Structure 1
Amino acid sequence: MSVAALIVAAGRGSRAGEGVPKQFRPLDGKTVLARTLEVFLKPPRIDRTIVVIHPDDEELYREAIHDISGELLTGLLPHAYGGETRQDSVRHGLEALASTAPEIVLIHDAARPFSGADLLDRAIEAGRRWQAAVPGIAVTDTIKVIGEESAVVVTPDRASLRAVQTPQAFGFAALLNAHRKAALSRLNDFTDDGALAEWAGMPVHVFEGEPGNIKLTHAADFDEAERRLKGSPMAYVTRLGTGFDVHAFGDGDHVWLGGIRIPHDRGVIAHSDGDVILHALTDAILGALADGDIGTHFPPSDPQWRGASSDRFLVHAIALVRRRGGLVDHLDTTLLCEKPRLGPHREAMRHRIAEICGLRIDQVSLKATTTEKLGFTGRSEGLAAQAAATIRLPETSP
């Protein structure tokens, strides 16, 4: 029987803290999604795999699969786009698989990177046997059902309770029909496919899960996952890089600064969107890596970068740090110009930079100064930015 895997990676993961969605965060030098995919892409268990992503995460997805060995990628299908809810995202992925419909499909959360090969084997076997099966582990804590004013209503016998995980296994045609039926009924709040299958009248069975198959949900989960992967503390060396960028004013009605569109009576003359803050930060990170500069990685002679959004450059630089197993500790930028004023937009810029880089807001500093009417910035002929980036790299990093 043919088997496909559908990896759900379209969520925002807000409970894990600010920054990029948790599935694209680094975990011991490799993104969570890359670690999850490697388990499913290793032959011969699964014939093909599709990932469902948020439309805003194209660049993050490209960077994530860059971490995966080339020979494994032969089983990876073009990605699909998610919807407003997890249920919508799964349905979109199933519809994308429909043209080459497998007999069995495994639905898995991207934020569970520790699924073992034995668990996948059990999932496939359970899917073949029952057509609807979910992995579960015994509940060790006593569970209380509460009602009004937090009063206990009942204490279920924990021997009959299971904490459900993914991957969940289904007959493809039956699950797709169940999703279509739910969509037509305008029901889109099922939090897992087992519950949706139950609603559709499918008998759902539970097979043995894995205690280590944890879902990364909160910031503390990432700390524990790092310790689990490393096994022992890793020694890091701290590096400091600096960057500088400048653009002359030209015709226009806005400028891009710190990833934010700022109304202004001038534009800037630039090959990309001319965001001096993001350009300076990109160069600072590349400097800390001793890996050239922004022009080396994104040559202005290459037409594909004409008008490009500068957040793509910064995402690339951050990804290079992650591939080296490194961490970004702090980013600091100073904007040099007479106008526009930074103050009204400072916090929005800090939040946007933190989001792009997957950092906390307190790891991003942003300041501004004039040049006392001196030089080209003092004459309001353009604007400039200087930046510093502090990163840590493993001592064994090349």
Structure 2
Amino acid sequence: MACAVLIVAAGRGTRAGGALPKQYHTLAGETVLRRTLRAFSPHPAIDAIQVVIHPDDADHYAASTDGLAQMRPPVPGGATRQQSVLAGLEALAAFNPHGVLVHDGARPFTSAAVIARAVAALETHAAAIPVLAVTDTIKQVDAAGGVTGTPDRATLRVVQTPQAFRFADLIAAHRAAAAAGRTDFTDDAAVMEWAGHRVSTFEGDAGNVKLTSAEDLARAARALADLPDVRTGTGFDVHAFGPGDHVMLGGLAIPFEKGLDGHSDADVGLHALTDAVLGALADGDIGAHFPPSDPQWKGATSDRFLAFALERVKARGGIVTHLDLTLICEAPKVGPHRDAIRAAIAGITGLPVGRISVKATTTEKLGFAGRREGIAAMASATIRLPLEDAL
């Protein structure tokens, strides 16, 4: 059953300060919005991504989404968050997914596990939201700041996004709220509650924070910069030529008189990069995670393997800071495609193109590559992990 994600990124984010809205501030070389989108693109459970933006942000949006998969054309938002969500839902109506996840554009640290729990909740619930238990005592106060009550924190939860809904139910609730003149709901679960739906909960993630203030952005930047465990991994792969009319190199289909033999799409470049990332994690190799004996990987696109490896880094609180790929072959000529390959890898990984190197060389007509029997690739990956992984 198809599932879409709706990213709300139309706000001005004035509390964050600076000349740009907070979703376009840069963290470790990429915008907050791009980091948010990379959690969902690519993700095996997500079929389409709809972003709602401010009309003035079209150029910033285009730069933040270049090369990302599953993206639908953005739509302009409204005066309130609720109106922006309805605009996004109307844009998704033609796609008509079974489920939709609604997520904040300035919540860039969402884990794959939270996304998986959100999608799984749609199997049994019309509405479900990620929550955290409240650990501090909460006070109710009046306009003058005086305490008027102390609610039982055992019944309270902190609410996050992505919130998960059956699409037909959510768009109907939003349309009804708009028709009734209600524009004051602060999240989509409240709209569903108003429409009479039961909202369930699932486990959130303490790291899944929303960036609101300048202090939040500074704290996030420090967290990404202060990863003390710097590691480098290497990868190597080779595939022989076989029948075909193109080869896959670094996520790019290059027309050629032959193809490459392999259980998947035989993308020798992405296979080497995947092993390099896994090697930096000391987390096995591509064959351990995606064995060629498993029929589900027959003909699979190799971007899934590299995205999986990067998600393993993210799951341990780390980041990939640089990828270096060397392709070894007499033909096809890589030079004319170098920038397109870099862009393709950037789209898969979410890294800026400036952190991706693609080189090509020959073996001076020596060996299997020199005899034009196949293509080899060498790769290295640099990652940073938090302190607990360093000890």
CA distance in 2, matches of 1:215, 1:28: 17
Which residue is equivalent to 1:130? Answer: 125
CA distance in 1, matches of 2:193, 2:38: 30
* Contact 1:91-1:176 within 8 A present in 2 as well: yes
Which residue is equivalent to 1:11? Answer: 11
* Contact 1:34-1:65 within 8 A present in 2 as well: yes
* Contact 1:104-1:128 within 8 A present in 2 as well: no
Which residue is equivalent to 1:193? Answer: 188
Which amino acid letter does the alignment assign opposite residue 2 of structure 1? A
CA distance in 2, matches of 1:103, 1:45: 12
Which residue is equivalent to 2:33? Answer: 33
Residue 200 of structure 2, aligned match among 189, 194, 205: 205
* Contact 1:139-1:162 within 8 A present in 2 as well: yes
The structural deviation recorded for 1:233 is 7.9
Q: Deviations over 1:21-77 (max 9, x none)?
A: 1001101110001011011112311011111001111111111113xxx3x42x111
CA distance in 1, matches of 2:3, 2:192: 19
Which amino acid letter does the alignment assign opposite residue 22 of structure 1? K
Residue 139 of structure 1, aligned match among 134, 143, 146: 134
The structural deviation recorded for 1:323 is 7.1
- Would you say 1:64 and 2:97 are equivalent positions? no
The sequence identity of aligned pairs, in percent, is: 53
Which residue is equivalent to 1:159? Answer: 154
Which residue is equivalent to 1:108? Answer: 103
**SS of match in other structure, 2:129:** strand
CA distance in 1, matches of 2:152, 2:193: 21
Number of aligned residue pairs: give it. 233
Which amino acid letter does the alignment assign opposite residue 41 of structure 1? S
The structural deviation recorded for 1:190 is 0.8
TM-score by length of 2: 0.58
- Would you say 1:80 and 2:79 are equivalent positions? no
Query: Which ranges of structure 1 fall in alignment gaps of 5 or more residues?
Result: 235-321, 326-398
Residue 223 of structure 2, aligned match among 221, 228, 236: 228
Which residue is equivalent to 1:281? Answer: none
The structural deviation recorded for 1:138 is 0.8
The structural deviation recorded for 1:151 is 2.1
The structural deviation recorded for 1:205 is 1.0
Which residue is equivalent to 2:23? Answer: 23
Which amino acid letter does the alignment assign opposite residue 53 of structure 2? I
Q: Deviations over 1:279-314 (max 9, x none)?
A: xxxxxxxxxxxxxxxxxxxxxxxxxxxxxxxxxxxx
* Contact 1:14-1:21 within 8 A present in 2 as well: yes
CA distance in 2, matches of 1:324, 1:219: 26
TM-score by length of 1: 0.57
- Determine which structure has more spread, i.e. the larger CA radius of gyration: 1
Which amino acid letter does the alignment assign opposite residue 53 of structure 1? I
CA distance in 1, matches of 2:222, 2:353: 18
* Contact 1:29-1:324 within 8 A present in 2 as well: no
Cα–Cα, structure 1 residues 32 and 148, in superposed 2: closer, same or farther, change >3 Å?
A: closer
The structural deviation recorded for 1:19 is 1.4
CA RMSD of aligned residues (A): 1.7
Cα–Cα, structure 1 residues 43 and 151, in superposed 2: closer, same or farther, change >3 Å?
A: closer
Q: Deviations over 1:123-166 (max 9, x none)?
A: 11112221101111011111001124222221011111100000
Cα–Cα, structure 1 residues 148 and 14, in superposed 2: closer, same or farther, change >3 Å?
A: closer
Q: Deviations over 1:84-142 (max 9, x none)?
A: 10000000000000011000000000000000000000011112221101111011111
CA distance in 2, matches of 1:10, 1:180: 19
The structural deviation recorded for 1:219 is 0.6
Which residue is equivalent to 1:243? Answer: none
* Contact 1:227-1:233 within 8 A present in 2 as well: no
Which residue is equivalent to 2:174? Answer: 179
Q: How does 1:320-339 map to 2 (within 5 A)?
A: none
**SS of match in other structure, 1:88:** helix
CA distance in 1, matches of 2:137, 2:227: 33
